[in-house]
């Protein structure tokens, strides 16, 4: 796959950029990096904003437009606005040329700002336009969003065009949902889900074509239809429950925000502590789940030898005793048979026949096996006992770890309950009604618990209903297949069903493969960048919990510094980008903001190598773009610019 | 970028499908879904019908009960 790049970005009268400013960003060979350096306020973040505004009609970084009061911070450059009168309009445009070999695309969006009476502004943007170059000709594309969606869908763009300074928030509260969304977004799971849904309805249309099937078949069709309806109803319930869960979580978050706004520092402190505890509690619960799984695995390994310990010990002591008594190996019996064979006569005096001889020889053979088994037993049993002891020790260790974690969970829960009780008893009159909010919060928490339980139950019921539906379907198909005329339609139905089954099994495999690949890459990137001497193991569980396990086997995620969390988020996003199905350019604002010097150097040096064959444009402050960082990036650099800001106008100049 | 850009991992899984006709059909369906990813209700039935016609005649794994 060749590299899809932003070849150039044109800003015309957009915010600090007066007149037309074309920034050439096309890279060459393995020099995949562009750097645009500028001091705060020079318009660095507005380069990222221009890209997202042009493509998605949304500015990513709104710090410079406080409280979303866009009318106070016009799209159009102030200098251009100075030249128009009250109630007059000034216009601007953003244009992005994207390309690999061919086709090339020019995305453009115009915008305008009206200068209002009294000094205010009102800004709005126009529709996204796209021209596509095929075979040397430029043609307008009608379904612009469809084409954009093929390049970088709106829900995926946040992993490619983002503000690095906000990355340390990525692993804050609710991060598992973000990790899950990221993983599902980049792995194209939506494609499989859409395909499965559409094939389901497509199949349904053919089922309706099965006609004149007779009473028996009609009865079975009815049963099948009812079973299908039940599944659909349950799925509807599940979707509604999920929406309710999400709404309830939003309500809790809203209350948390309001408590955080309390005038009383004690309330704010308690709320902060609760947020911290909730986050930790989530991690601890994730750890508990992991350790429980590990303990179960150990139990499976240790179970059989542990249950057999007494028998094994008894057998070993018997073997030893017999051996000490000279009964093992059973030489006497062996010698006795040999004597009989030699003598050719039984102890009763009868001569041995050929049959007798064969019988004695087989007994002798059997005897030697017994000897070997006894010897093996003596050798193998101590080993088995040793294994049992080791497995038991590991199991005890896991259980102790589990007990410690459960104790931590109890402590955190206790403290959370105490905070809640204290807030409910809070009676200092102020603008935020803490008592009432806390009461509502507890109600929402209870509601959330009920909803989550309902969700689990519905999932089980859906599974059962689906099994029943499939049985009914089979019965109906068997009945209608008795009619020759239905054969062709049934063949189609079976073909669609086989295809749908393939998509279903693919879905689980893909999620699991993507998760494993992201885990491997995250671990690699984090350890490469992080400045600690110790080695950390970064893992991503099936429940989307990220664990950063240190040398003492403890999960460090709760104690990472802001810079470390940023590195972790970077590692995750780099892993996502690398395994994603999207070949899109990366634009990162303030990529090294909170990162200290050693990892900053490592990141500058290694990032272009981690993310192969991807154009990377970094928007950096003077503090980030140090001589050392610049030197480390130099081998990968294609374009380097500086933003010169004066008199509310920024000029983009190539670096000297 | 072509409309065929489906995640490599998915394409690998598609390649592992033994049944030739089902594999080709699934691939066509996925490419269609990729191209229509942003549409709330894409009109898939005509396209799916064409794909089905393309492969159904040569499909031999049909378990007929007759």
Mean pLDDT of all residues belonging to chain A: 85
Q: Do A191 and B6 touch (CB under 8 A)?
A: yes
Interface test with B, best of A481, A484, A506 (most B CBs within 10 A): A506
Burial label, A188 (beta-carbon count in 10 A; 0-12, 13-18, 19+): buried
**Is B16 part of a structural domain of the chain?**
yes
Window 197-226 of A: residues touching B by CB (8 A cutoff) are 198-199, 202, 205
Which residue on chain A is closest to B44 by alpha carbon? A198
Alpha helices in A557-640 (DSSP H): 562-579, 597-610, 627-633
User: Does the CB of A194 have a partner CB in chain B at under 8 Å?
Assistant: yes
Greater pLDDT, B31 or A146: B31
Give the closest of B37, B39, B56 to A191, CB-based: B37
Please provide the size of chain B in residues: 66
Give the closest of A4, A509, A517 to B13, CB-based: A509
pLDDT tens-digit profile of B33-42? 887 776 767 7
Q: A-chain residues within 8 Å CB-CB of B1?
A: 4, 100, 103, 150-151, 583
Q: How many domains does chain B have?
A: 1
Q: Is the ipTM of this complex over 0.90?
A: yes
Q: Do A145 and B3 touch (CB under 8 A)?
A: no
A184 Cβ neighbours under 8 A, 6+ residues apart:
A190, A511
Window 545-604 of A: residues touching B by CB (8 A cutoff) are 579-583
Given this model, what pLDDT does residue A76 score? 93
Q: Are A566 and A529 in contact (CB under 8 A)?
A: no
Given this model, what pLDDT does residue A331 score? 60
Range of the domain at B48: 8-56
**Is B3 part of a structural domain of the chain?**
no
Q: B-chain residues within 8 Å CB-CB of A491?
A: 56, 59, 62, 64
pLDDT tens-digit profile of A20-31? 999 999 998 889
pLDDT tens-digit profile of A43-68? 999 999 999 999 999 887 654 444 44
What pLDDT band is residue B63 in, cutting at 50, 70 and 90? low
User: Residue A506 to residues A73, A183, B17, B22: CA-CA distances in angstroms?
Assistant: 49, 15, 10, 13
**Is B17 part of a structural domain of the chain?**
yes
pLDDT tens-digit profile of A109-167? 999 999 888 778 889 999 999 998 877 788 888 778 777 877 787 777 888 888 887 77
How close B47 gets to chain A, by Cα (Å)?
A: 11
The C-alpha atoms of residue A424 and residue A427 are separated, in whole angstroms, by 8
**Is B14 part of a structural domain of the chain?**
yes
**Is B33 part of a structural domain of the chain?**
yes
Answer whether residue B2 shows pLDDT above 70: no
Interface test with B, best of A160, A194, A507 (most B CBs within 10 A): A194
**Is B63 part of a structural domain of the chain?**
no
Residues of chain A whose pLDDT is less than 50? 1, 63-71
Q: Do B34 and A187 touch (CB under 8 A)?
A: no
At A302, is the secondary structure helix, strand, or coil? helix
**Is B31 part of a structural domain of the chain?**
yes
User: Does the CB of A259 have a partner CB in chain B at under 8 Å?
Assistant: no
Give the closest of B22, B33, B34 to A499, CB-based: B22
Measuring CA to CA, which residue among A114, A131, A494, A433 is closest to residue A267?
A433
User: Does the CB of A476 have a partner CB in chain B at under 8 Å?
Assistant: no
Whether the pTM exceeds 0.80: the reply is no
Give the closest of A100, A496, A510 to B10, CB-based: A510
**Is B66 part of a structural domain of the chain?**
no
């Amino acid at each position: 796959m060749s590299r899809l790049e932003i070849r150039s970005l044109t800003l015309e009268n957009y915010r600090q950029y007066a007149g037309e400013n074309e920034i050439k960003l096309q890279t060459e060979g393995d020099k995949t990096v562009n750097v645009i350096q500028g001091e705060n306020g020079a318009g660095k973040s507005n380069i990222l904003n221009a890209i997202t505004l042009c493509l998605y009609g949304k500015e990513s970084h709104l710090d410079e437009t406080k409280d979303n009061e866009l009318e106070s911070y016009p799209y159009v450059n102030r200098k251009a606005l100075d030249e128009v009168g009250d109630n007059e309009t000034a216009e601007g445009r953003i244009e992005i040329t994207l390309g690999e070999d061919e086709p090339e695309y020019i995305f453009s969006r115009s915008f305008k700002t009206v200068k209002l009476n009294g000094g205010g502004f009102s800004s709005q943007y126009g529709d996204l336009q796209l021209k596509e170059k095929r075979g040397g000709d430029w043609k307008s594309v009608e379904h612009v969003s469809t084409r954009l969606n093929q390049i970088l869908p709106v829900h995926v763009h946040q992993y490619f065009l983002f503000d690095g300074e906000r990355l340390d928030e990525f692993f804050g509260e609710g991060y598992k949902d973000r990790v899950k969304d990221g993983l599902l977004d980049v792995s194209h799971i939506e494609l499989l889900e859409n395909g499965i849904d559409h094939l389901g309805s497509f199949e349904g249309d053919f089922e309706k074509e099965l006609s004149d099937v007779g009473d028996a078949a009609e009865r079975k069709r009815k049963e099948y239809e009812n079973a299908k309806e039940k599944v659909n109803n349950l799925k509807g319930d599940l979707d509604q429950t999920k929406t309710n869960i999400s709404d309830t979580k939003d309500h809790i978050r809203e209350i948390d925000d309001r408590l955080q706004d309390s005038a009383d520092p004690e309330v704010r402190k308690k709320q902060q502590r609760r947020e911290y505890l909730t986050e930790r509690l989530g991690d601890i619960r994730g750890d508990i789940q992991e350790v429980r799984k590990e303990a179960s695995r150990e139990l499976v390994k240790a179970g059989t030898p542990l249950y057999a310990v007494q028998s094994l010990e008894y057998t070993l002591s018997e073997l030893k005793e017999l051996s000490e008594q000279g009964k093992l190996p059973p030489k006497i019996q062996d010698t006795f048979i040999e004597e009989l064979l030699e003598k050719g006569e039984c102890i009763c005096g009868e001569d041995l026949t050929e049959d007798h001889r064969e019988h004695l020889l087989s007994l002798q053979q059997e005897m030697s096996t017994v000897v070997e088994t006894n010897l093996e037993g003596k050798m193998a049993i101590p080993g088995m006992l040793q294994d049992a002891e080791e497995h038991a020790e590991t199991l005890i260790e896991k259980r102790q770890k589990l007990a410690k974690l459960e104790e931590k969970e109890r402590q955190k829960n206790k403290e959370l309950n105490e905070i809640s009780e204290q807030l409910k008893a809070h009676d200092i009159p102020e603008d935020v009604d803490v008592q009432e909010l806390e009461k509502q919060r507890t109600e929402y928490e209870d509601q959330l618990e009920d909803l989550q339980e309902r969700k689990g139950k519905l999932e089980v019921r859906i599974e059962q209903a689906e099994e029943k539906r499939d049985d009914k379907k089979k019965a109906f198909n068997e009945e209608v297949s008795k009619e020759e005329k239905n054969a062709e339609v049934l063949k189609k139905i079976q073909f669609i069903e086989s295809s749908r089954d393939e998509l279903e099994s693919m879905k689980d495999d893909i999620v699991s493969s993507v998760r494993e690949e992201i885990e491997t890459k995250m671990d690699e990137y984090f350890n490469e960048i992080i400045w600690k001497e110790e080695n950390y193991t970064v893992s991503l569980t099936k429940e989307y919990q990220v664990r950063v396990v240190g040398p003492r086997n403890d999960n460090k995620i709760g104690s990472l510094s802001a810079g470390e969390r940023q590195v972790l988020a970077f590692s995750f996003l780099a892993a996502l980008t690398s395994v994603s199905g999207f070949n899109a350019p990366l634009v990162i604002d303030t990529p090294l903001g909170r990162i200290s010097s050693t990892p900053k150097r490592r990141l500058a040096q290694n990032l272009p190598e981690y993310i192969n064959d991807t154009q990377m444009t970094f928007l950096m402050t003077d503090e980030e773009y140090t001589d050392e960082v610049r030197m480390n990036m130099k081998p990968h650099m294609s374009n380097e610019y500086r933003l010169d800001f004066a008199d509310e106008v920024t000029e983009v100049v190539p670096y000297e | 970028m072509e409309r065929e850009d489906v995640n490599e991992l998915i394409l690998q899984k598609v390649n592992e499908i033994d049944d030739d006709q089902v594999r080709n059909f699934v691939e066509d369906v996925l490419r269609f879904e990729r191209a229509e990813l942003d549409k709330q209700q894409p009109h898939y039935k005509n396209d799916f019908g064409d794909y089905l016609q393309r492969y159904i005649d040569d499909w031999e794994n049909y378990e007929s009960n007759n």
